[in-house]
A and B are shown apart, each in its own frame.
Chain A
Amino acid sequence: MDTSRLKKLLLDGAPEFWELLRQQTREARAFDELFILSSLRKKAHARHLAPPKPASEKIRVALLGGYSLYPFHELLEHICELEGSPCELWKGDFDNYISEIMDESSGLYAFAPRVVLLMPSENRCRYPGKLTDPRELQQAEATRVVDSLLQLIARAHDKTSAEIITTNYILPARHDHGAFRSRTMGSDWTFRKWVNLELGLKAPPYLHICDLEFLAHRLGGIQARDERSWFESKQPCSPALLVDFAREAAHLIASLRRAPKKVLVLDLDNTLWGGVVADDGLEGIELGDTSPRGEAFKAFQRYIASLRHRGVLLAVSSKNDHHRAAEVFEKHPEMILKMDDIVAFKANWDPKSDNIRQIAAELNLGLDSFVFVDDNPAEIDIVRQFVPEVATILLGPDPSEYATLLQDCRFFEVRSLTAEDAERTSQYLSEARRKELQASATDMNVYLESLEMEAVITEFVPVDVPRLSQLINKSNQFNLTTRRRTEAEVQALMREPGYIGFSVRLKDRFGDHGLISIVIGHAVDGIMKIDTWLMSCRVLKRQVEDEVLNELARLAAARNCSKLEGLYLPTPKNEMVRDFYSRMGFTLVAEDEKSRQFELSLKNFQPTPTRIKITRRAYDPS
């Protein structure tokens, strides 16, 4: 990190110092970098270089715990000030937190904090007995540790009415006890995991968990600890984790006062799908299982959809022709997000800053509750300049990182549970119990029923061609003839009058499987010859085969065919479907080393009932 420009601005007394300091503070990852920035901040105050905006009122925060609070408090003070929620800190003495909370005349209560940040000592979170003690004994001890901490916290809250933030416990990262560590609750590893879990689940509304277990996991267990710094200066963790800890604590303190974000405004081209729909067309954009990039965009949409389910409102602002942009939402089969998910849809040529202002007016929401996402730095810049209240996220060149970028910006986090949430929870619980019953049933039909499967059967359509060709060319095991076809060949086939072709998409209550089966038939002299029948092995034994045969028979009959003719062409990989046609009721009529030929008469054909709900059929005008 280069601080030379900051130092020059400081020496010149230039007010731009503060904005650059804020930027560098956001970017700084290492402890010493942040500490130097903090020193520069203090130098600026000592020189009376005033921040551009007068700082808002300081929040009174008390720090106490089983560790030295130096230099943690320095980092916390620095980050809080530069993120716009300055703090006045009171520091307890090393490992004196229990008496500071119990003693009504302690400095803690004289300070009258609005927020108490507590770091309980991990030395008090250890099972004192044997590894081989009965689990009931070990578990009772863990519960006792949690309850006594919660009692202490309740006392601090009662006496101050402050919001309380407590850290939980970092897990060990060394090979103590070997694999046995997870088979007993007597090891620090399991004991602390249990305590952390119970602490979080039992936490009352005024208590916020600063999840050090998670932060250490995120950073890496070995990087998170530093034994030397404990022996030398009673630090809770390594300097690297101290930085993440301070950032998390600052985030929690700030979010106690700051309203959460409510609206996510999305760009379209190269944000929700790859490519530009106006140039590449509906068929040409990258979305879905056609390519790794297409899969990544689809996964990003899935994450956005999950935000919508959490209550985030979704809006679109895109430089596009309205009709072209809307068509993707209405017609593209791989779109996760639908028109109904979008509360405001602005596809036009106006500046995005204007669009966002208009959306805010329509929804009657403040601009500071908006987050804007785009892959184009120029668009991000316009929004930053003209509607600075809006938070912006610039997506990089790699769509596989889009969802993680959105997650790590931390704009849409759940704060606490409301009564409404609790009510919903009880409804969910009864629902969950019902499903559990189903899942426990051994009857296959009950299981299939419980999957709530829905299938869409579609004749070959231009927009599906890339996916059809891709599955035709990669499917090996459940593939009766293994005939490969390029996109151009699939397109040519669609124009051949004697041919039929359809694909099946399947979803169930666990998610969308996408396009999973393809059939091509060729009607010749009253016989429907099955040119291709393939299926993704992910959906074996789900009755998809039965529905495909039902559909095939229906389409064959509609084309005046009285017979289905199936062909098995053996390859090194498709042994699993050698007897497939026999299992489906076909008769073997000819066989040699290179092929097996089957027939099924349609005269007495009855469709096989299944547990799949078919919501659309091929060549169906509706």
Chain B
Amino acid sequence: MTQADVLAKLQTIFDDLFLEPVTLIPALTAKDVPEWDSLMHISLVVAVEKAFNVRFRVGEVEATRNVGEFADLIAKRTQER
């Protein structure tokens, strides 16, 4: 899966969860989206793990700095399966 593939699928998850529409670009960070708080983050990770059938290791999602890095992490964990 390329970063673009992951971003496209990720976009549908964001559309489901967020009240206001969010357009995903690699440089986007949680700080740019007012709704994206710690609560939303927990739900986002659960939804992503289910949709992509992956399991992140402790602390690694938090270590990603923007949506692009998050997408790369998803791609990496997807390849391991």
Complex interface residues of chain B between 8 and 38 (CB less than 8 A to chain A): 16-19, 38
Judged by DSSP, the binding face of B is helix
In contact, B46 and A31 (Cβ under 8 angstroms):
yes
Counting chain B residues whose Cβ lies within 8 A of the other chain, the interface size class is 10 to 19
In contact, B59 and A35 (Cβ under 8 angstroms):
no
CA distance A135 to B53 in the complex (A): 46
Contacting residues, chain B, for A42 (C-beta < 8 A): 19
Please name 14 pairs of A and B residues whose Cβ atoms are closer than 8 Å in the assembled complex, sorted by A.
Answer: A30-B50, A32-B47, A35-B17, A35-B46, A36-B17, A36-B47, A39-B16, A42-B19, A46-B19, A70-B39, A74-B39, A232-B61, A233-B42, A235-B42
In contact, B42 and A36 (Cβ under 8 angstroms):
no
Cβ distance B51 to chain A, nearest Cβ, rounded Å: 8
Cβ distance A246 to chain B, nearest Cβ, rounded Å: 13
**Chain A CB within 8 A of B80 CB:** no
In contact, B58 and A71 (Cβ under 8 angstroms):
no
**Chain B CB within 8 A of A231 CB:** yes
**Chain A CB within 8 A of B5 CB:** no
Contacting residues, chain A, for B43 (C-beta < 8 A): 31-32, 35, 71, 74
Contacting residues, chain A, for B62 (C-beta < 8 A): 232
Best-surrounded residue of A30, A46, A228 (most CB of chain B within 10 A): A228
Counting chain A residues whose Cβ lies within 8 A of the other chain, the interface size class is 20 to 34
Which partner residue on chain A sits nearest B50 by CB separation?
Answer: A32
CA distance A32 to B61 in the complex (A): 17
Interface string of A41-80 (1 = CB under 8 A from B): 0110010000000000000000000000011001000000
**Chain B CB within 8 A of A566 CB:** no
CA distance A35 to B51 in the complex (A): 14
Which partner residue on chain A sits nearest B59 by CB separation?
Answer: A232
In contact, B59 and A231 (Cβ under 8 angstroms):
yes
Contacts A71-B42, A232-B62 aside, 15 further interface pairs with beta carbons under 8 A come to: A3-B16, A30-B50, A31-B46, A32-B43, A32-B47, A35-B46, A36-B17, A39-B16, A39-B17, A39-B18, A46-B19, A74-B39, A228-B58, A229-B42, A232-B61
Judged by DSSP, the binding face of A is helix
Q: Which A residues fall within an 8 A CB radius of B? A: 3, 30-32, 35-36, 39, 42-43, 46, 70-71, 74, 227-229, 231-233, 235, 239
Contacting residues, chain B, for A39 (C-beta < 8 A): 16-19
From B16, B56, B57, B61, contact of A36 by CB (8 A): B16
Which partner residue on chain B sits nearest A230 by CB separation?
Answer: B58
Which partner residue on chain A sits nearest B51 by CB separation?
Answer: A32
Best-surrounded residue of A3, A30, A70, A232 (most CB of chain B within 10 A): A232
From B17, B19, B38, B59, contact of A70 by CB (8 A): B38
Contacting residues, chain A, for B58 (C-beta < 8 A): 227-228, 231-232
Best-surrounded residue of A30, A35, A231, A233 (most CB of chain B within 10 A): A35
Contacting residues, chain A, for B19 (C-beta < 8 A): 39, 42-43, 46
Contacts A35-B17, A43-B19, A228-B58 given; does A239 touch B38 at CB 8 Å: no
The 6 closest A-B pairs by CB, nearest first: A32-B47, A70-B39, A35-B43, A36-B16, A228-B58, A71-B39
Contacting residues, chain B, for A232 (C-beta < 8 A): 58-59, 61-62
